[in-house]
Amino acid sequence: MEFEDVVNELMDSSSSSSSSSSDDDDEVYTAAEHIVLSDIVNPACHRGSVEGHRVVNRDRQSGHCRLYEDYFSDNPTYGPSYFRRRLILSNFIDLCLVYALRSE
């Protein structure tokens, strides 16, 4: 049995089932079920990265390890003064961005 046949069978059985509590609850449940199943049967044609663009491997795991070793390990490469200076700079940049977005 194909996936679409199973989905259609579920949709048919849900619309013909007898009400167990109230008719309104069953209608809401059936409508939600139809929305979810229609999204499964008819997925969007493209999701994710921009089609045709080159994917660049940024090696994020290595960057995370390096950041941890530089600032947060038991024996960090850079001390607390470097971390504080960079943190203050990044907070300043964040505040500038917030102010710029609010003024627009």
Six-digit token string for 99 = 């102010």
Instruction: Break the chain into its structural domains and give their ranges.
Output: 3-41
pLDDT tens string 84-100: 777 777 777 778 878 88
pLDDT tens string 49-70: 777 778 788 899 999 999 889 8
User: 84 Cβ partners below 8 Å, 6+ apart?
Assistant: none
Name the H helices within 1-104: 3-16, 23-41, 60-67, 80-103
Instruction: Decide if pLDDT at 37 tops 70.
Output: yes
